[in-house]
Chain A
Amino acid sequence: MSTELNLGPLLFHWPVEQKRDFYFRIADEAEVDTVYLGEVVCGKRAPFFEDQYAEVTKRLTDGGKKVVLSTLSEVMIDKDRQLVSRMVETKGALIEANDASALWHLEGRAHRIGPYVNVYNEKSMAWLAGKGAEHFCLNPELPKSAVLELAQQAQTLGVGVEVQVFGRISLALSARCYHARAHDRVKDNCQFVCEESPDGMELDTVDGDAFLAVNGIQTLSHPYVNLMQEMPEMAQAGVSAFRLSPHDCDMVKVCRLFGGVSSGRLSPDEGIHGLQEAGIAASFCNGFSHGVDGYRWVANS
């Protein structure tokens, strides 16, 4: 069985037209199996795209893609709570839960577990599977050793395991909006300044080293994770899907390259070389997978 290639939820706040056109192109041209839709970072952004979901979903389904709805990762105020309960109530939708409040609403229903729900070990996975979870996208800080153990457990349980292999890594969530803060505003008065950063607002250290990227309440890695080298081993161990996190670059090409490595048509080296030419304005990292500093790049020996 070949490993699925999936497109994770778009983490950034793009203008509505750009976002819609992006998904149309993915629907028409990208070789991916599942597309995750939904605002997972900031509830304030959600209303902008609300009336586009029906059309985008139809186009994606027509293009042969499965659509899954990802819930908000940090749920706090009433509007957040309503957002989650409304999404879960969407008729016929398959839901990826990103916090425990979604799990509350999903009781008794088959669902997926997103990377923002902490599933670090076999016990948590088995317990959630017993509650109806049938697919787990793992936390990106898990080392490969743990991923391989979980993949094995997943096969026993008959559930899917997904690992993010491309894009900036979510490192932290907060109640405070750091995009707003950078512009001397607060979250309630943010004026959606995050729209200015289609891949996040880059933070450098005082020494001038590229360090992090801010995306509203979310803090991301500066480098993009790239697990092309690790994909074959993970697939062999039973990882059933690879996740690409969308960025403002030629994502159709990114999908093609990862699909190539996943199917064996491209070697990891060829894939990495191709990515370097795809116009990504940051370096790559894979440290978490190797159990070292997450920002590092470990070359396969």
Chain B
Amino acid sequence: MNDLTRPELVCPAGTPASLRAAVDAGADAVYCGFQNATNARNFAGLNFTPDELAEGAEYAGQKGAKLLLAINSFPPAGKFDLWRQAVDTGVQTGVDAIIVADMGVADYVRTRWPEQRLHLSVQAGASSAEAIRFYCQEFDIKRVVLPRILTVAEIKAIHDEIPCEIEAFVFGNIGMMAEGRCSLTNYVTGVSTNMDGVCSPAGRVEYKEDTQKNLTTRLGDFTVDCFACGENAGYPTICKGRYLTEDRREPYYAFEEPVSLNLTSLLPDLMKAGVTALKIEGRQRSRAYVKSVVGAFRKAVDDLMAGRPPELTELLNLTEGNKQTEGAFGGKRWR
């Protein structure tokens, strides 16, 4: 045994089947969203109806897992009612926490439902102790989800200066832009990540494989990448694309290559830094992904808590571009 605090494993669910898969694989908490623009994974065929959320809450509750509801997009003027409804439904369903980003939404929850536990979404982009303290003071935030841009040492420093719990991403897609502050999708598709909850909407994505098996990916009217035959592909997002500059006439990954975050080997450091909730990204992924990743992290955390060296299960096959990184968490050289 050791002096580590047992962390909560927070797992994604894009569908009721994924929710059950996550709970069965050992999730301590599952996060999900409604089938509309109120959350940041508003994709076709994904997410929960109010009835499905209620069933999910019951299933999770029976197995001792928490249910967190993401209402973490930014309602544009004139459309606030949809977010209000989402909050009301979530509270009435009895979700354990609502994950918010917009100050108006946070204020609404605090005023209308003063007892409801609130988490601050990564979409709020609170990346310093002062920013986090601001949200804690104003909206009684109980937990902050940190942006994926900080080193472990910086997380430790923040932990010592804030009054709330810290949730950090440990696995999954790693967007390169500060969350909640990216309009790249809207720039080429007219659909806004912040307001509509969609990054690279599939309706504007086009894949084309030529006879040599080169795969061209287009988003809106722009080509974001072209993969040679056999070359691993990534998500059709602008921040994982290849471009040219005046000096670089060969296409290069101007922002980041297709790669996923995997912090398995940093888990003990994160836990020592004061991270009490470990978040797995991927509400848009299949239940096969959820089962594998949650299972692997469940085992790793249990090993660590029991003082055993964690057995690092191979998750490379589930990563974007079949590549993984520790991103900013590993050190400042990443920036």
B255 within 8 A of A: yes
A201→B189 CA distance, assembly (Å):
23
A206 within 8 A of B: yes
**CB within 8 Å: A-B pair count:** 228
The A contact surface, by secondary structure, is mixed
What 1/0 flags go to A110-134 for Cβ under 8 Å of B? 0000001011111111111001000
Q: When the two chains form the complex, which single residue of B107, B150, B180, B254 contacts A118, counting CB atoms closer than 8 Å?
A: B180
Q: When the two chains form the complex, which single residue of A73, A101, A116, A176 contacts B130, counting CB atoms closer than 8 Å?
A: A101
Q: When the two chains form the complex, which single residue of B182, B226, B248 contacts A171, counting CB atoms closer than 8 Å?
A: B182
A204→B244 CA distance, assembly (Å):
5
Binds A, one of B74-82, B90-98, B292-300, B314-322: B74-82
Classify chain A: how many residues form its interface, as a range. 35 or more
In the bound complex, residues from chain A placing their C-beta under 8 Å from that of B188 are 293-295
In the bound complex, residues from chain B placing their C-beta under 8 Å from that of A125 are 104
With contacts A120-B195, A182-B245 taken as known, whether A76 is within 8 angstroms of B102 at the C-beta atoms is no
Binds B, one of A23-31, A145-153, A254-262, A270-278: A145-153
B181 within 8 A of A: yes
Contact, CB under 8 Å: A127 / B107: yes
Contact, CB under 8 Å: B223 / A207: yes
Contact, CB under 8 Å: A80 / B176: no
Task: Report the minimal beta-carbon distance from A289 to chain B, rounded to whole angstroms.
Answer: 12
With contacts A74-B127, A186-B334, A187-B335 taken as known, whether A124 is within 8 angstroms of B245 at the C-beta atoms is no
B113 within 8 A of A: no
Q: Which residue from chain A places its CB closest to the CB of B123 in the assembled complex?
A: A118
A281 within 8 A of B: no
- Which 6 residue pairs are nearest across A and B when measured between Cβ atoms? A123-B104, A175-B149, A101-B130, A100-B131, A149-B77, A124-B104
Residues of A within 8 A of B (CB): 73-77, 80-81, 84-85, 99-101, 103-105, 116, 118-128, 131, 139-143, 145-147, 149-150, 153, 169, 171-178, 181-183, 186-188, 201-209, 211-212, 214, 219, 221, 287-288, 291-295
Residues of B within 8 A of A (CB): 74-80, 101-105, 107-108, 124-131, 133-135, 137-138, 147, 149-150, 154, 176-178, 180-184, 186-190, 192, 194-195, 220-226, 238-239, 241-248, 251-252, 254-256, 328, 332-335
> Could you give 20 example pairs across A and B, Cβ below 8 Å?
A74-B178, A80-B128, A100-B135, A104-B134, A118-B101, A123-B107, A124-B102, A141-B192, A143-B76, A150-B77, A171-B187, A172-B184, A181-B254, A183-B247, A187-B332, A201-B246, A203-B243, A204-B243, A219-B177, A287-B187
